C-alpha cells in the first residue's frame, strides 16, 4: 500500500485540513506520516491550560500526538522551526521562525523524511496557505520544493473551497457563532473552479472532530468547530478539497478527482 505524508504548519492544522484523508488512508491500510513545521509557540491562546512549568510548545506537541493517534498516524515528526505568528507581526522575522527559514534548507529537512518513507503522496497547502498565514504559505513553498528533491510522484495542495463555505455559512452559521466571516474576508480560500480534487470523508467526520478536540489548548469546547450541529459540521468538514500539482494530461478536467490514490 502507498505511503501518505501530510505536511502542516502548526499543531491542529492536520485535524482541520486533512484529518479525513488521513483517517481514510489509515483505515485502508496505508502508512500515514504527519510532519509539522512548528510547535505553534505563538498561538496566543491556551496558556491558561498549562501545568506549572509546562510551555505551550510542550502542550501542543502532546496534543498533536493525541490527535495523530485518533487519526491512525504511524509517525509524527516536527521540522524544528518556530511559529512565525500572524502576517505582519514582529515574530515573522525572528531567528528560527519558519517564515524566515531558507526554503532550500527547510525543503531538504522534509525531503529527508520523504525519502526515508518512500512517500507516494504528499499533501501541502495551496499558494495562499488557505488564508494567508505566513507559515501556511511557507508550507506550500517548502513542500513543493521538497517533493522535487525527493521525487515524490503525487503532490496535492490542500485548499479551502471559498464558494462551498459561503454557501454553507448562509444556512448553518448561528448568528452568535464565532464562525469566520467567509464572504467578508477576501483572503479566505479560493474559488471552486481552481480545485481539482474533492474527497468525500463523511465517514470520518467524527474522527476529525475527535482529533480537533484533542487540541484542547487551541480548539476549546465552545469553539465553532466543536459546537456545530452534526449536519453543519459534516457540510463544512465532510469534504476535503485539493489541487493536484502537475496532473497527468489524461486527467479529466471536466470533473473533479474524488481521491488522492
Residue 255 lies in a domain: no
Specify if 92 maps to a domain.
Answer: yes
Q: What is the 3-state secondary structure (H, E, C) of 139-196?
A: HHHHHHHHHHHHCCCEEEEEECEHHHHHHHHHHHCCCCCCCCCCCCCCCCCECHHHCC
Q: What is the pLDDT of residues 153-177, one digit of tens each?
A: 999 999 999 999 888 876 665 555 5
In a domain, 257, yes or no: no
In a domain, 258, yes or no: no
Q: Is residue 43 assigned to a domain?
A: yes
Report which of 133, 141, 159 is spatially closest to residue 21, judged by C-alpha positions. 159
* pLDDT score of 23: 98
In a domain? residue 254:
no
Q: Encode pLDDT of 54-74 as tens digits.
A: 999 999 999 999 999 999 999
- What is the number of other CB atoms lying within 10 angstroms of the CB of residue 253? 9
31-38 vs 75-81, strand pairing mode: parallel
Contact 123, 5 (CB under 8 A): yes
In which domain, by residue range, is 76 found? 3-244
Unique residue bearing C-alpha cell 506537541 = 61
The DSSP letter of residue 35 is: E
Which residues, at least 6 apart from 30, have a Cβ–Cβ distance to it below 8 Å? 1, 2, 3, 4, 261
Residues belonging to the chain:
261
Could you report the per-residue pLDDT of 75-112, keeping only the tens digit for each?
A: 999 999 999 998 999 999 999 999 999 999 999 999 99
Domain-embedded: residue 70: yes
C-alpha span between 212 and 126 (Å, rounded):
21
Split at pLDDT 50, 70, 90, the class of 228 is confident
The neighbouring-strand residues paired with 239 are 200
The total of structural domains in the chain comes to: 1
* φ/ψ of residue 202, rounded to 5: -55, -40
CATH number for position 13: 3.40.50.10320
Judge whether 29 lies within some domain: yes
Instruction: Round the average pLDDT of the chain to a whole number and report it.
Output: 92
pLDDT of residue 172: 62
pLDDT value at residue 164:
93
Amino acid at each position: 500500500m502507498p505511503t501518505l505524508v501530510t505536511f502542516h504548519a502548526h499543531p491542529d492544522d492536520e485535524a482541520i485540513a486533512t484529518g479525513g484523508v488521513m483517517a481514510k488512508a489509515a483505515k485502508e491500510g496505508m502508512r500515514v506520516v504527519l510532519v509539522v513545521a512548528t510547535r505553534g509557540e505563538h498561538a496566543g491562546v491556551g496558556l491558561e491550560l498549562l501545568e506549572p512549568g509546562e510551555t505551550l510548545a510542550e502542550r501542543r506537541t502532546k496534543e498533536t500526538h493525541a490527535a495523530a493517534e485518533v487519526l491512525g498516524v504511524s509517525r509524527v515528526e516536527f521540522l524544528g522551526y518556530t511559529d512565525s505568528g500572524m502576517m505582519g507581526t514582529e515574530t515573522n522575522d525572528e531567528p528560527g521562525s519558519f517564515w524566515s527559514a531558507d526554503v532550500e534548507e527547510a525543503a531538504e529537512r522534509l525531503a529527508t523524511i520523504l525519502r526515508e518513507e518512500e512517500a507516494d503522496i504528499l499533501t501541502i497547502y495551496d499558494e495562499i496557505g488557505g488564508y494567508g498565514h505566513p507559515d501556511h504559505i511557507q508550507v506550500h513553498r517548502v513542500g513543493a520544493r521538497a517533493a522535487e528533491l525527493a521525487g515524490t510522484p503525487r503532490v496535492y495542495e490542500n485548499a479551502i473551497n471559498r464558494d462551498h463555505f459561503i454557501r454553507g455559512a448562509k444556512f448553518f452559521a448561528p448568528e452568535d457563532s464565532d464562525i469566520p466571516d467567509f464572504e467578508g474576508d477576501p483572503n479566505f480560500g479560493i474559488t471552486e473552479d481552481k480545485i481539482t480534487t474533492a474527497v468525500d470523508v463523511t465517514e470520518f467526520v467524527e474522527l476529525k472532530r475527535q482529533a480537533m478536540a484533542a487540541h484542547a489548548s487551541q480548539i476549546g469546547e465552545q469553539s465553532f468547530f466543536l459546537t456545530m450541529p452534526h449536519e453543519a459540521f459534516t457540510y463544512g468538514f465532510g469534504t476535503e478539497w485539493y489541487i493536484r500539482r502537475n496532473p497527468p494530461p489524461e486527467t479529466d478536467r471536466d470533473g473533479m478527482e474524488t481521491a488522492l490514490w
